[in-house]
Amino acid sequence: MSFDYIEPEELDDPSDAPAPVLVALPQKQLRIAMVGTRGVPAAYGGFETAVEEIGSRLAARGHEVTVYCRPKDGNRPAEHLGMKLVHLPALKKKTLETLSHSALSALHMLGHRKQDMAFVFNAANSPFVPIIKARRVPTAVHVDGLEWRRGKWGKWGRRYYRMAEQFSVRSADALISDAQGIADYYSAEFGVPTELIAYGSSKLTEVATDKLTKHGLVPGEFHLVVARFEPENHVDVIVDGYTRSGSKYPLVVVGSAPYAAEYTDRIARTAAADSRIKMLGGVWDQEELNQLYAHARTYLHGHSVGGTNPSLLRAMGAGTAVIAYDVVFNREVAGPDGLYFADADALVPILERIEDAGWKHVAIGTAMQQRAEAMYDWDKVALGYEELAMRLVAGETIHGLSKGRRRKEGWNETAAAILPDERPATAPLPTR
């Protein structure tokens, strides 16, 4: 399947963007709501990218897609790439921003035109599923990763996420996982099936280099990190490992965190002591981001608790060599051609070796791009969401299969960390 798709940033008026066109349009068009994210237009990574890519394709196939958004910079467009946008406020507090916005979104759905189907993103929003279902709207919850393992949450935050997982199992008509590891977790913990629908990746070719100049960057001669500054994304580990290395190419760090001041400050202090590190903060220009992804020598990915990560896929789609934190989710995505590290010490020799003139980083990047193209296709992802929506509207549901109680044997983290035929006893250093 193929289509012509223009990023909104390339147009004078984003509303002029041609909608993606997929084959075999469905006979029945649905009203579909997408709830629980910051909304669109997307910045980089996360659920927002998925909502934009999936929602625009569903809209192009004739469905009426409504995306619930949090206002940003006072900009409240009514539509984006064929999707209708509803902007509702949120409390600007770490523990309440997502929940307050999702609660308002569910109440808005209750008092307005009935939707045929709702996709709720993030298991944390599962307590609001009964509000949505009060009007008999079939609801699927995209459960995301193991959120209770995120370092930014305290004891009560972790307990809430554990409870939310149970509530998702009890209340949803379907659960969506984006990685086999997450599907295995829900199967082991609760004995329920999930719909395994991964994220997609867009192939980047012949990407310009003009926007690298202002940062003093040379194509192929810098390393890149793109992540929110949160402990489970290990930006601090990457920065620390880089400072210990003898790398001659700069490390470019893109990202920030509104609720992790202490963690962010610690990274900033480490970076300030090393002139090779360039802290760019948030980069919202999608073309600039594409240039960074496509022309980095390596993309360093420290995420550890999610499933299939869109930022990792974006780097793979750009044909960039991947050095990833060594967890099952990252190995599942990047596969045997990726390079892996478990701590700052393990990162040092990888960075130093990959800068050797004889090291074929381009070959690794090509393998990454081919893997992304073969396994992570946004067209197929959108069709998977559409097919699930049709089944749920027709009456299919997992509701009642489980009471949401965790099974005694449960999930074995040690066993889950092994990918057959892909994970060696120790991650090898790169060789020529």
What is the per-residue pLDDT across 138-192, written as a single tens digit (0 to 9) for each?
A: 999 999 766 666 666 678 878 988 999 999 999 999 999 998 888 999 999 999 9
Asked whether residue 4 carries a pLDDT value surpassing 50, the answer given is: no
State residue 22's pLDDT score.
Answer: 59
| Two tokens, residue 214 | 């202002």
Chain centroid to Cα 125, Å, comes to 17
Asked which of 22-26, 206-210, 425-429 is least confident by mean pLDDT, the reply is 425-429
Asked which of 81-95, 153-167, 183-197, 199-213 is least confident by mean pLDDT, the reply is 153-167
Percent of the chain with pLDDT over 70: 86
State residue 424's pLDDT score.
Answer: 35
**109 in helix, strand or coil?**
helix
Contact of 11 with 29, CB cutoff 8 Å: no
Full-model pTM: 0.81
Distance CA 88, CA 9 (A): 24
| Two tokens, residue 38 | 């910051």
pLDDT-derived band of residue 108, with 50, 70 and 90 as boundaries? very high
Asked whether residue 244 carries a pLDDT value surpassing 80, the answer given is: yes
pLDDT-derived band of residue 308, with 50, 70 and 90 as boundaries? confident
Asked whether residue 429 carries a pLDDT value surpassing 90, the answer given is: no
- Note the CATH architecture for domain 210-375: 3-Layer(aba) Sandwich (3.40)
Asked which of 26-30, 314-318, 330-334 is least confident by mean pLDDT, the reply is 26-30
State residue 148's pLDDT score.
Answer: 61
**Mean pLDDT computed over 293-314:** 91
Whole-Å CA distances, 16 to 6, 9, 12, 80, 296: 10, 11, 8, 9, 31
Asked whether residue 199 carries a pLDDT value surpassing 50, the answer given is: yes
State residue 431's pLDDT score.
Answer: 39
Asked whether residue 93 carries a pLDDT value surpassing 70, the answer given is: yes
**Mean pLDDT computed over 264-293:** 93
Asked whether residue 10 carries a pLDDT value surpassing 70, the answer given is: no
- Ramachandran angles phi, psi of 275, nearest 5°: -65, -10
Asked whether residue 2 carries a pLDDT value surpassing 80, the answer given is: no
**Mean pLDDT computed over 378-388:** 96
Which of 5-19, 31-45, 230-244, 417-431 has maximum average pLDDT? 230-244
State residue 59's pLDDT score.
Answer: 98
Asked whether residue 381 carries a pLDDT value surpassing 50, the answer given is: yes
Whole-Å CA distances, 238 to 229, 243, 422: 12, 9, 24
**Mean pLDDT computed over 383-404:** 95
Nearest Cα residue to 205 out of 417, 54, 369, 35 = 369
- Note the CATH architecture for domain 8-199+380-393: 3-Layer(aba) Sandwich (3.40)
Whole-Å CA distances, 42 to 16, 285, 302: 17, 11, 21
State residue 74's pLDDT score.
Answer: 75
Q: Where are the domains of the chain?
A: 8-199+380-393, 210-375
Asked whether residue 13 carries a pLDDT value surpassing 60, the answer given is: no
Asked whether residue 43 carries a pLDDT value surpassing 50, the answer given is: yes
**Mean pLDDT computed over 268-284:** 94
Average pLDDT, the chain: 87
Question: How far from each other are the two terminal CA atoms of the chain, in whole angstroms?
Answer: 36
Distance CA 17, CA 13 (A): 8
Residue 351 makes CB contacts below 8 A (sequence gap 6+) with: 223, 241, 242, 245, 247, 298, 323
Asked whether residue 260 carries a pLDDT value surpassing 80, the answer given is: no
Asked which of 68-77, 92-101, 249-258, 404-413 is least confident by mean pLDDT, the reply is 404-413
b vs e for 192-222, b when ≥16 Cβ sit within 10 Å of the residue's Cβ?
Answer: bebbbbbbbbbebeebeeebbeeeebeeeeb
Percent of the chain with pLDDT over 90: 67
